[in-house]
Chain A
Amino acid sequence: KNEVEQSPQNLTAQEGEFITINCSYSVGISALHWLQQHPGGGIVSLFMLSSGKKKHGRLIATINIQEKHSSLHITASHPRDSAVYICAVRGQGAQKLVFGQGTRLTINP
């Protein structure tokens, strides 16, 4: 079993829909990261959180430390949100990130 599991692996939705991507992990963590990878391959950091909730524009990230679970939400989705979304965690005392396999999101107009 991977330390970081994302679901779903692939998600296709219509423009305007509310999107939820889930991330579950099995170790105690010091931080969880949500990353976005566009078709060209470049990766952008969206959020880094260790508790609660963060919001940036139409993106919202939440984390439940007790349940070892995080969600990334996109409101009013748009075709430009189409990308691979990656969850990564850093274990307590660890010096490296462990990455999930990614969720490929496609938003159709």
Chain B
Amino acid sequence: DGGITQSPKYLFRKEGQNVTLSCEQNLNHDAMYWYRQDPGQGLRLIYYSQIVNDFQKGDIAEGYSVSREKKESFPLTVTSAQKNPTAFYLCASSIGTEGYYEQYFGPGTRLTVT
């Protein structure tokens, strides 16, 4: 079955620790995205990647870092510099970044930092 996997579903960390969220897709999509969702707010784009070894900042990239060494994988690191890291994180992919391509979403990772 083709799809996007994110692991783990729930993640707990102490303040001051970096944490890496996994996102893997077997859809052969070039573009991948990371979004953050907070209660009562729309999804906000953190980073996106149009192709391997390339990525761009989204609207709220501060305190986050990504890598795209393989087409299938787009891990997100939440660093200790992120002021409010507790949130629901969604990874998505699409064939390309043009408007007529659908985005496919992973199941999400709920990160709690205390």
Contact = CB atoms under 8 A, between A and B. Distances in A.
Given A50-B100, A95-B97, A99-B44, 8 more contacts: A29-B99, A30-B99, A41-B90, A45-B102, A45-B103, A97-B43, A98-B42, A101-B42
Do most interface residues of chain A lie in helix, strand or loop, or is the interface mixed?
strand
Contact of B107 (A30, A42, A95): A42
A50 B33 CA distance: 22
Interface residues of B, number: 26
Interface in B76-102: 88, 90, 92, 97-100, 102
A35 to B, nearest CB: 8
Interface residues of A, number: 28
Nearest to A89: B99
B112 to A, nearest CB: 14
B50 A95 contact: yes
B98 A30 contact: yes
Contacts of A88: 42-43
A83 interface: no
Given A86-B43, A95-B48, A43 B105 contact: yes
Contacts of A92: 99
Nearest to A92: B99
Contacts of A97: 43, 45, 103
- Which of B42, B58, B97, B98 gathers the greatest number of chain A CB atoms within 10 Å? B42
B43 A99 contact: yes
B88 A50 contact: no
B2 interface: no
A1 to B, nearest CB: 13
Interface in B13-57: 33, 40-45, 48, 50, 56
